[in-house]
Amino acid sequence: MSGDPSQSIASAFSGWTTTWPTSLLAVIWLAFLASWVAASFWSGRTRKHVMTLQSARYRIPIGIGAVLFTPVTGHILGEKPLWVFGHLGIYLLALVALAGIAFTWWARIHLGRFWSNAITHKEGHRVIDTGPYGLVRHPIYTGLITGMLATGLAVGTVTAILGAILISAGMWQKGRMEEVFLMAELGADAYGSYRRRVPMLIPFLPAG
């Protein structure tokens, strides 16, 4: 086996196709992951969080989905796409993925030090209902789900599509768990009022 790192990168990317536009999606997600991990240190002190066993309800589908979603899985399985978009189609879906990631980052920056990767109650935590949080209650998940599903469609392999669906389902489950947690921590009056006004994941739909 060659020790050339460029060949290893090319091998991993080849699981998502042999053409550049789909490989562009891998570059987009790698850049997102690197920036997201770097920003994870920007967070306030945690007062309370959901127990690990409870969090398995969303961590398991997200974890399995992430493994299926990665290009290397498709490469190992030797998958072929169920369909093939032209360059224009891939670029349009890549723009949708970028829009989703941009929405996620807008929400992350707007949330500031109240953000956490887990379901937590931060010091000074309060209901945020401005910016992207005035459109949906969980804009970080809205953006990521949009990006994941657009990428799964663009790649077109069974594992990429299934991975995107599992990650999306896990995020939906995590959002539901956050609703219960924040209702108890921030109060039914404060969070309940917000919940009745703003939809959960899809903007402009009835709240609930």
Which pLDDT tens digit goes with each residue over 59-108?
Answer: 999 999 999 998 889 888 988 899 988 889 999 999 999 999 999 999 99
User: Is residue 139 domain-resident?
Assistant: yes
User: Is residue 207 domain-resident?
Assistant: no
Q: Give pLDDT, residue 9.
A: 52
Long-range contacts of 122-129, Cβ-Cβ distance < 8 Å, separation of 24 or more: 122/43, 122/44, 122/45, 122/46, 122/47, 123/44, 123/45, 123/46, 123/47, 124/44, 125/47, 125/185, 125/186, 126/186, 126/190, 127/182, 127/186, 127/190, 127/191, 127/194, 129/194, 129/197, 129/198
Nearest to 172 by CA among 136, 128, 121, 126: 136
User: Is residue 54 domain-resident?
Assistant: yes
Q: Give pLDDT, residue 4.
A: 55
User: Is residue 202 domain-resident?
Assistant: no
| 119: pLDDT strictly greater than 70 | no
User: Is residue 74 domain-resident?
Assistant: yes
Mean pLDDT for 117-122 is: 62
User: Is residue 98 domain-resident?
Assistant: yes
Q: How far is CA 20 from the centre of its chain?
A: 23
Q: Give pLDDT, residue 78.
A: 87
Residue with more model confidence, 18 or 184: 184
The CATH number for 92's domain is 1.20.120.1630
Q: Give pLDDT, residue 197.
A: 94
Q: How far is CA 112 from the centre of its chain?
A: 18
**CA–CA distance, 43 with 109 (Å, rounded to integer):** 11
CB atoms under 10 Å from CB of 65, counted, come to: 23
User: Is residue 205 domain-resident?
Assistant: no
Which range marks the domain in which residue 95 is found?
Answer: 5-197
**CA–CA distance, 95 with 174 (Å, rounded to integer):** 26
| 118: pLDDT strictly greater than 90 | no
Domain count, the chain: 1
Residue with more model confidence, 117 or 189: 189
User: Is residue 206 domain-resident?
Assistant: no
Three-state secondary structure call for residue 46: strand
